[in-house]
């Protein structure tokens, strides 16, 4: 129930209560002061609303009470705070009979519903997608770091932004970016070679064996690809460990207890109150964001001068996404800065590459099989590589797809109904939060059968009658809603094909040049993060350079 709805329901009661209190005080011949009357009425209303909201509505009137319901203490906290987020709901999909929705409540009996099957996902993500928005509390918190760009905009603003940005993400344009992606991957590999020589394994005299924390390098690679492609600026963070752009972004996105605390508080409290919580993140976050905003305003000024020198619309000075948006003239400078923050923060490749390294270290046979295909397609580290080469490698694409399926970068997200609507034939009251969980949907036996938890690149490979292999896009599932890593429908990730192209380049380069092992094979990886899933300890690898 929205604040407006609560007010509408309370006002008539307040008037009656006020009259009764005034009449009673007059009958007692001890007229109360207006302030006393107000306090009495206000307190009575708060108590009545709390009793209605917590004890009466959820159990006697809420239509969701008839759905299959998970009961127990602190269910909401387990779903949203236990890592990897969404892991709790994986078991629900396997053990709780349902027709597309599972209901659960948090501590104050506020209702959530988890979408579980094809019909429910289609209704939320496609058919009725504009009946839902991102939950306002979490959205306002994330906007402190990302602004109200394409990810966090809603309604007409989202439609306008998506229409303006879509031309930059056509398959043709993305394939034209493969040379940039591959050249940055080569630089990434050269920097890793330097790193392992510096951090050579102490138990060996070999200079080509050393340790790296791959997550930070993956972040820098992503930034150096998305920078030129999205805003026309090469940050050169791969060559500069002290690069302030990379450092500020890492500070914003790095998992921490403070950020998790603020995110959780944002779901319950207004943002002005969240900003008053005395923790380090409330001091550091504004400083990091302000640095980036000032930098991006400078980039806008440079870009505007560059565009002013174009001879005609048919001869653009460059083809980056920011330039395309500026030529359209549909965005203010503030909105363009929001889009830049969004583009640079939304890279999926860094997280995906980190988890790919983890899984291929624990399953080295898959790593070795992948390397055989890389060598058969790309003759050497310095060879030129086309999009046909990378998109046509069946096992490479299978590995990438399985990483994105089993280790979704954003394991859980949500939507709030802005009007009464229906999901899977069930009425959903206005204000209900719907949980969308790639972590559980991507592992659902309903879609993926008995091998749902297994890492099987072969499921993404078709074999014709002559034994020729080719990549497929469905993994053997009956619907593309079986994998919602990038969501679907009008709110699907617009950069999913860009992210996949980046990912192919990074995986082919890294596993072509290096044998990867965990630095400590006995280490237990701790899943963490606020919005995205990241290993709290980092992903520390032992890299051995190979002859390629």
Q: What angle do CA 404, 407, 412 make, to 5 degrees?
A: 105
Among 141, 144, 95, CA closest to 116 = 95
Alpha carbon of residue 259 to chain centroid: 15
| Among 358, 439, 356, 353, residue whose Cα is nearest residue 83 | 439
298 is written with which tokens? 């400078």
Strand partners, 514: 545
Alpha carbons 42 and 294: distance in angstroms, whole number: 45
**Tokens representing 472?**
């497929």
Phi, psi for 527 (deg, rounded to 5): -75, 135
Half-sphere exposure of 145 (CA within 13 A, CB side): 26
Diameter of the chain measured on Cα atoms: 100
Q: Which two tokens stand for residue 204?
A: 């060996």
**98 is written with which tokens?**
């349902």
Contact predicate 146/345, CB 8 Å: yes
Contact 425, 436 (CB under 8 A): no
- The Cβ of residue 488 has, within 10 Å, a number of other Cβ atoms equal to 19
506 close to 484: Cβ distance less than 8 angstroms: no
Q: Taking a C-beta distance cutoff of 8 angstroms, is the pair 219, 263 a contact? A: no
Q: What secondary structure letter does DSSP report for 462?
A: E
Coil, strand, or helix at residue 479? Answer: coil
- Element holding 105 (H helix, E strand): strand 101-105
User: Strand 132-133 relative to strand 461-463: parallel, antiparallel, unpaired?
Assistant: unpaired
User: Annotation-wise, does 356 bind a ligand?
Assistant: no
Q: At 112, which helix (H) or strand (E)?
A: strand 111-115
The DSSP call for residue 150 is T
Omega cis (within 30) before 84: yes
- Distance between CA atoms of residues 265 and 62, nearest Å: 25
Do the Cβ atoms of 406 and 444 come closer than 8 Å?
Answer: no
Q: Which tokens hold the place of 11? A: 């006002």
Does residue 252 contact residue 534 with C-beta atoms inside 8 Å? no
| Burial call 496-512: b when 16+ CB within 10 Å, e when fewer | bbbbbbbbbbbbbbbbb
CA 128/CA 401 separation, integer angstroms: 28
Q: In whole angstroms, give the CA distance from residue 290 to residue 525.
A: 33
Which residues carry a binding-site annotation for heme?
493
Which residues carry a binding-site annotation?
493
């Amino acid at each position: 129930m929205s604040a407006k709805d609560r007010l509408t329901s309370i006002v008539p009661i307040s008037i009656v209560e006020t009259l009764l209190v005034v009449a009673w005080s007059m009958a007692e011949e001890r007229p109360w002061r207006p302030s006393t009357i107000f306090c009495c009425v206000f307190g009575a209303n708060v108590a009545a609303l709390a009793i209605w909201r917590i004890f009466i509505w959820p159990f006697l009137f809420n239509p969701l009470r008839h759905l299959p319901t998970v009961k127990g203490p602190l269910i909401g906290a387990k779903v949203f705070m236990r890592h990897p987020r969404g892991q709790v709901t994986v078991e629900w999909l396997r053990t709780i009979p349902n027709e597309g929705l599972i209901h659960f409540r948090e501590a104050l009996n506020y209702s959530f519903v988890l979408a579980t099957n094809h019909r429910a996902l289609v209704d939320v993500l496609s058919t009725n997608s504009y009946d839902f928005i991102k939950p306002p509390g979490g959205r306002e918190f994330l906007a402190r770091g990302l602004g109200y760009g394409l990810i966090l905009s809603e309604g007409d603003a989202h439609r306008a932004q998506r229409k303006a940005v879509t031309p930059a993400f056509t398959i043709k344009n993305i394939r034209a970016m493969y040379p940039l992606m591959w050249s940055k991957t080569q630089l990434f590999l050269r920097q890793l070679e330097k790193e392992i020589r510096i951090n050579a394994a102490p138990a060996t005299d070999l200079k080509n064996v050393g340790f790296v924390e791959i997550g930070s390098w993956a972040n820098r690679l992503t930034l150096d690809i998305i920078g030129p492609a999205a805003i026309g600026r090469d940050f050169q963070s791969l060559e500069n460990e002290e690069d302030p752009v990379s450092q500020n972004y890492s500070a914003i996105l790095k998992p921490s207890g403070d950020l998790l605390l603020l995110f959780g508080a944002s779901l319950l409290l207004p943002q002005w109150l969240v900003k008053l919580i005395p923790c380090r993140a409330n001091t550091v976050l504004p400083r990091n964001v302000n640095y980036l905003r000032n930098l991006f305003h400078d980039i806008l000024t440079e870009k505007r001068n560059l565009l002013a020198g174009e001879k005609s619309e048919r001869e653009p000075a460059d083809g980056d996404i920011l330039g395309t948006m500026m030529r359209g003239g549909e965005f203010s400078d503030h909105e363009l800065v929001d889009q830049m923050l969004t583009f640079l923060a939304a890279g999926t490749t860094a997280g995906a590459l980190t988890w790919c390294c983890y899984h291929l270290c624990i399953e080295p046979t898959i790593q070795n099989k992948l390397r055989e295909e890389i060598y058969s397609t790309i003759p050497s580290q310095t060879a030129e590589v086309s999009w046909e080469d990378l998109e046509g490698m069946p096992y490479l694409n299978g590995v990438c797809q399985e990483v994105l399926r089993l280790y979704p970068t954003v394991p859980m997200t949500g939507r709030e109904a802005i009007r009464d609507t229906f999901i899977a034939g069930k009425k959903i009251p206005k204000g209900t939060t719907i949980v969308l969980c790639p972590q559980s949907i991507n592992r659902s036996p309903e879609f993926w059968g008995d091998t749902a938890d297994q890492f099987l690149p072969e499921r993404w490979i078709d074999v014709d009658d002559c034994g020729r292999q080719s990549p497929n896009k469905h993994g053997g599932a009956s619907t593309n809603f079986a994998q919602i890593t990038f969501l679907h429908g009008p709110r699907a990730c617009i950069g999913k094909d860009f992210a996949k192209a980046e990912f192919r380049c990074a995986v082919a380069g890294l596993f072509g040049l290096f044998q990867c092992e965990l630095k400590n094979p006995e280490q237990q990886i701790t899943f963490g993060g606020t919005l995205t899933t990241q290993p709290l300890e980092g992903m520390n690898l032992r890299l051995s350079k190979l002859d390629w």
